[in-house]
């Protein structure tokens, strides 16, 4: 005869299994969008080729179909050398996969009604590409796909290019009946993102001797944009600034700080001040204790591991006589960052807003036909 305690236990287990079984029919795919980076040296040329011929990312003044491939071929050896110096390839896929895994594990616990959740990586310029992610989605029988940009701050050149690519891939394909598609396009001021960066900054500041800690200047470094993109109306600079302000609020404005910009390419005018020039200028002012925060990057890659760590914190710092310079790590798998990601998705699901009005609104001086068509298509197709 089964005891009352055993009977209650079996009843709970039956309900748990029944709930799990019903959830199996509500599969949710989280599609993590990012630029990506070559894992191997031999991928570098194709990576650069795709960037230099993507007019959503870079607009060359003339003959992009000819000039873009030429620039990619010319730059390949130098960029390959940089990847060799950081271990032979980018770790961005490793980190994105881990972030997706941890995110979905957490979502399964806090949102059982939309479980099970499965992560898919959709990189723009290296495998796994957009088409790879959606082919897997279809094979897995996913019923709901959330397109989750891993750029906290939206730019037409980064997030915009990824969404345009998804539109180009899906526009002529049949969307299964009942399939739901929605977009998380930006999240620059999420409180847990700010708390994560603040925690990383505090830990980095603790590495500075106490008698010099208060002298530190915090340099928030983000990838720059050509000024013509800024003047066209790209939201990226203002959204990066909003993130910086929120992080400093978390730190109670404990130190002087400055937003600076990195990774300028080519002769055109770009948004400044540039990170390397700011380092030089502060040293001339006698301010030689610096902390650099990669505020627009959520995982380590060449622009943190080489440009910031090697070119600026090592080579430039030695050249100009910096006393102390430290680089704050990117969020990677920080618990607060995983909490931020899961809260962003959960809020998205609960709010029942499949695509934001901000995303659907074009820049005032937008001339990109792909942008026009993709926003119109997403406005019609997205649902929760």
Q: Give the catalytic positions in this structure.
A: 190, 343
Alpha-carbon torsion 168, 173, 177, 178, what sign? negative
The residue length of the chain stands at: 384
- C-alpha distances in angstroms, 167 versus 45, 94, 147, 276, 353? 25, 26, 11, 37, 19
Cα gap 161→147, rounded to integer Å: 13
3-state secondary structure of 332: coil
Q: Measuring CA to CA, which residue among 124, 119, 114, 165 is closest to residue 140?
A: 119
For residue 121, what are the β-bridge partners?
A: 32
| Long-range contacts at 372-379 (CB < 8 A, ≥ 24 apart) | 373/167, 373/171, 374/163, 374/164, 374/166, 374/167, 374/168, 377/167, 377/171, 378/163, 378/167, 378/183, 379/355
Is 277 in a helix, a strand, or coil?
Answer: helix
Specify whether the CB–CB gap between 163 and 378 falls below 8 A. Answer: yes
Tokens of residue 255, six digits: 């130190």
Residue 182 pairs with which residues in a beta bridge?
146
> Does residue 376 contact residue 359 with C-beta atoms inside 8 Å?
no
β pairing state of 28-34 and 144-149? parallel
């Amino acid at each position: 005869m089964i005891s009352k305690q055993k009977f209650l236990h079996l009843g709970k287990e039956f309900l748990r299994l029944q709930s799990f079984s019903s959830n199996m029919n509500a599969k949710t795919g989280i599609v993590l969008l990012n630029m990506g980076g070559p894992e191997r040296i031999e991928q570098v040329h194709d990576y650069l080729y795709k960037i230099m011929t993507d007019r959503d990312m870079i607009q060359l003044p003339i003959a992009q179909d000819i000039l873009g491939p030429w620039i990619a071929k010319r730059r390949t050896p130098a960029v390959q050398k940089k990847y060799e110096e950081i271990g032979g390839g980018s770790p961005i896929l490793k980190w994105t996969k881990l972030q997706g895994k941890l995110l979905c594990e957490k979502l399964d616990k806090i949102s059982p009604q939309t479980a099970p959740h499965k992560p898919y990586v959709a990189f723009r310029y290296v495998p796994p590409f957009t088409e790879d992610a959606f082919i897997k989605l279809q094979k897995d029988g996913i019923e709901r796909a959330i397109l989750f940009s891993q750029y906290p701050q939206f730019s037409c050149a980064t997030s915009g290019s990824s969404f345009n690519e998804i539109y180009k891939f899906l526009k002529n394909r049949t969307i299964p009946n009942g399939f739901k598609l929605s977009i998380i396009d930006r999240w620059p001021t999420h409180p847990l993102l700010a708390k994560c960066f603040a925690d990383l900054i505090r830990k980095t500041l603790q590495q500075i001797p106490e008698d010099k800690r208060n002298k530190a200047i915090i340099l928030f470094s983000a990838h720059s944009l050509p000024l013509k993109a800024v003047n066209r109306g790209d939201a990226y600079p203002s959204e990066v600034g909003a993130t910086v302000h929120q992080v400093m609020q978390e730190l109670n404005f404990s130190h002087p700080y400055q937003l600076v910009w990195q990774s300028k390419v080519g002769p055109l005018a770009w948004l400044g001040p540039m990170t390397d020039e700011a380092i030089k200028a502060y040293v001339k002012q006698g301010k030689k204790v610096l902390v650099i925060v990669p505020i627009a990057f959520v995982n380590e890659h060449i622009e943190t591991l080489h440009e910031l760590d090697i070119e600026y914190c090592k080579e430039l710092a030695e050249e100009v006589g910096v006393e102390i310079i430290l680089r704050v790590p990117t969020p990677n798998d920080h618990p607060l960052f995983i909490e931020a990601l899961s809260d962003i998705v959960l809020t998205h699901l609960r709010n029942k807003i499949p695509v934001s009005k901000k995303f659907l609104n074009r820049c005032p001086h937008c001339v990109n036909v792909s942008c026009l068509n993709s926003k119109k298509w997403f406005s019609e197709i997205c649902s929760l």
